[in-house]
Chains A and B, each alone.
Chain A
């Protein structure tokens, strides 16, 4: 009898006790049974999620603790389905049925480092296809797919690639921005831990498209497990000839290096990240010149987010039309949403663009974990707006979000219940900017510090009306005069908190 147990080795699964369960399980194996440490499927509310495969069927149990695993191991397998933690087949859960998985189609299925498993699931088909195309045809394919950058700015990937492809230089670079610092986002981490070869493949395709022979992944230091997985995946891809001097026996080279950041939020901004890769302080550069023309070490550089580069593998494997057929308007393909904060069912959802925030948070997310009413949803990371209930019917689409003064960003949705104090959240936004500002421009560096002071005065009811006006003015200055998005977008959470939740700022001052 062969039976395989799957227990994720993912960061969040580990943070919920999966490693201890794996050890417990390992000690109780019978002959013919093996434990696979897979990636997570991203249903983090079910982690640790044990799946048992026997006779082609895969049954899930979760969220599982040591006592429950002990109970299962003490009973005959035929009785397991009766156990309180049994979920049946995960594919049949409403959470997964509502999704359209492209980028995350392999996440959680197998050991992320198993190259044969990757190849068996369409792995490296995109690269094989790209190796038979002229570079301009690869760029054309990405353009036609309508793929836009998944890092937040949503710039069309193909246009960026074309600029780099058309630039002439001795050396060009592909840089993957894996500095996922936004609270409420973990899609990059999940992808890198659950399906690292997909990112490697996407970067190699990008190298072929623009003529770059070197690539860097800039990974944040807060993700030690991710580093481990990527480090090993790069080594295995090199050994198998998917990276190196002769990728896929094509006589074309692509070398990939993993670099680790040092705990600076601003290094998620592309030019600050390039400075950091060059071994300097992560100071933002003025644009132009664009990194596409003068990027890393002054050379033409493609800078894309993890999910953007990963999606390229799918685009090249399935064709641009298949990708562009999903989505709405100018938001093509799928959107990777991350449900976080005070939410009952938190995790990653890959859905076509166009569902509403309310549908996602209430129906799929199940509302708050505390059981209290939702007060606000912060979309798009720490620099995104706090959305009140009147905005929850907005479809998840870049333009629709911009239309309500919000930002879809990287697709993070952080839920707050009615106990949240929005003045405290606004103050935090300014304090975070003050802490993490690179310091190069005055509006961001000084404006954020003054912002904290003004909000403190408002909360202390010190001339609140005049200070609210002053805060508005300060937000204007930061928005219009900052060098990059850090100072330019910090007014988003602050203003939305002031506009939609004024009662939290001046609890007894009615007219403000």
Chain B
């Protein structure tokens, strides 16, 4: 037990205590403890920084797009898979659909570049047919839909697991009873399937809402150079560029702490709402 616990104490609580530098001006030579205090100075600078708010806005934008366009996909895919009667076909499609979850973001981004980039599959096909080419990868306007497409490609299949499990627990007899009472496919879906998987949907929604300030850090960082910060800067990349690249550690830590506190409050609030609605939520 001790090595594992030691890890948490050192690398989580140790680092958590390191958040103190959000209230300090970090001097590398002095280390975290001896650096001078600046009170809330870093936070004040942050709130007055237009680039920070732009990053916050971008983060929310991307999160909302993902919520609206990504979230229903695994659910739909799970319903489709669940409705298949040939289990061998279903298992094959499942295996294929899970796979991209295990591919690193570096490779996913590289794959998208190969297919949609300047000289990629799509453009050379368009070119070959005498059509004009489209710039998708380096285009800031196309960036948001592109990131949603990447997330869907990578994780939609994996996301079906939890829905499939919920669907598998629905009692067949309920369907049978509903069918005998004359309910068609749509009514059965509405009155049997949906209520059965509602707790899972609510649970995942809450987790997503609590996490709304985190949208794929690696995904954005990998593509920020190609499309520029206007489109790809999120809070996490802001922290990275201010702190690690820019050396302004106290300021970047303040932004990171801001995100952490708001995120934790959001999870807490979303969970409260879930309890009000009579759902179980993430924790009791």
- Are A and B genuine complex partners? no
B interface residues, Cβ below 8 angstroms from A? none
A interface residues, Cβ below 8 angstroms from B? none
